[in-house]
Structure 1
Amino acid sequence: MSTHQVIVRELTTEKEWIDAFPTMNQLRTNLNLDSYLNLLQKMNKQGYRLFALYDEEIVALAGIQMNINFYHERYVFIHDLVTDSSKRSKGYGEKLLQYIHDWAREQGAQYVSLESGIQRREAHRFYEEKMHYDKWCYSFRRKL
């Protein structure tokens, strides 16, 4: 990380969402700009919030949603977490995740939860070893 101020802020305008697309597209490669904006507008109406970590420019993103259920009670689910591929291993992901943890705590959340693709072993090590997440369940889905 560089010496100037690194900040996190919520992206709320279409221009900010467009600025974030190249980074999000590194994680969600199936999206084009139109499908990304269309889905983001719908998700936003359901409580999805997109946060960006800036180091002069967007270097990492976290897409989250506050939820309530029986097993987590009030919690934040991280739908999307990505650091720009040219900026990895510089502490940005950890800084953004810590921000989300603090934000969730301020909102009265009991947990922060996320899912990660089975093949993403490096990400799993980061979540478990560096960020102290517990691997506590499997997630299943069925295409209809």
Structure 2
Amino acid sequence: MDTLTITELDTEKKISEAFPVMNQLRTHLNEKEYMELVAEARDKDMYRMFALYDQEDIVAVIGFKPMITLYYGRFVWVCDLVTDTDKRSNGYGEKLLLYVHNWALENNYKSVALSSGLQRYDAHRFYEEKMEYGKASYVFKKSLHE
């Protein structure tokens, strides 16, 4: 029997329950900052979060937003994807990413894009080899308040 379910995190309670897993990726955020940023992104930027549950436990979380740019056209940007450290290599990230692929197709978006930190070699291998993503560009960042 399959005990896996994907659920949208659409309430403060559900979003808060996902913090321990999300914090494994976004280690710079405390729970208050996380809650504030998720609320603002949902309100202003169409950000959506989904969790993969194994029975009652969150094992992976994905956050994404639909976008339109001249370069990509209509696409979905994956902002966050993390599997609980103790649950990795079980196909959970793949299940969530495929869920987003299907969501994008159902909502008339043409592609899915994401960025991944330079040091995340295992993630790069996952995206390129397992999920067949191609490198499209470099992402550059300049901090304005240091």
* TM bucket, shorter chain: over 0.9
> How many pairs are equivalent?
142
Taking the aligned partners of 1:32 and 1:142, their CA distance within structure 2 comes to: 23
Q: Distance in 2 between matches of 1:85 and 1:65?
A: 24
Q: Secondary structure at the match of 1:93?
A: helix
Shift of 1:5: 2.6
For 2:110 and 2:8, locate their aligned partners in 1 and report how far apart those are by CA, in whole Å: 21
2:84 maps to what in 1?
84
What is the rounded CA distance, in whole Å, between the counterparts of 2:136 and 2:39 in structure 1?
A: 31
Query: 1 CA distance for matches of 2:3 and 2:85?
Result: 21
| TM-score, normalised with respect to structure 1 | 0.96
Q: Deviations over 1:103-128 (max 9, x none)?
A: 11111111100000001011001000
Provide the C-alpha distance between the structure 1 equivalents of 2:102 and 2:2, rounded to a whole number of angstroms. 22
- Counterpart of 2:140, as a letter, is F
Percentage identity across paired residues of the two chains:
51
**Runs of at least 4 residues of structure 1 off by over 6 A?**
none
Partner of 1:33: 31
Partner amino acid, structure 1, of 2:141: R
In the TM superposition, what are the counterparts of 1:15-54 in structure 2 within 5 Å? 15-45=13-43, 46-54=45-53
Q: Which runs of 5+ in 1 are unaligned?
A: none
Partner of 2:20: helix, strand, or coil? helix
> Shift in Å at residue 4 of structure 1?
3.1
Asked if 1:125 is matched to 2:128, the reply is no
SS of corresponding position for 1:38: helix
Per-residue deviation, residues 2-44 of structure 1 (Å, max 9, x unmatched): x433111211000001100000000000111111111111011
Residues 1:75 and 2:98 are matched in the alignment: no
Aligned to 1:111: 111
Q: What is the CA-CA distance between 1:101 and the residue it aligns to?
A: 0.5
Alpha-carbon distance in structure 2 between the residues aligned to 1:50 and 1:26 = 16
| Separation in 2, partners of 1:4, 1:98 | 17
Could you report, residue by residue, the CA deviation over 1:29-75 in whole angstroms, capped at 9, with x for unpaired residues?
A: 01111111111110111210001111111100110000001111110
TM-score (norm 2): 0.95
- Which residue of structure 2 lines up, in the alignment, with residue 99 of structure 1? 99
Partner Cα separation in structure 2 for residue 28 and residue 85 of structure 1: 13
Unaligned runs of 5+ in 2: none
Q: In 2, distance between residues paired with 1:137 and 1:96?
A: 23
CA distance in 2, matches of 1:96, 1:79: 13
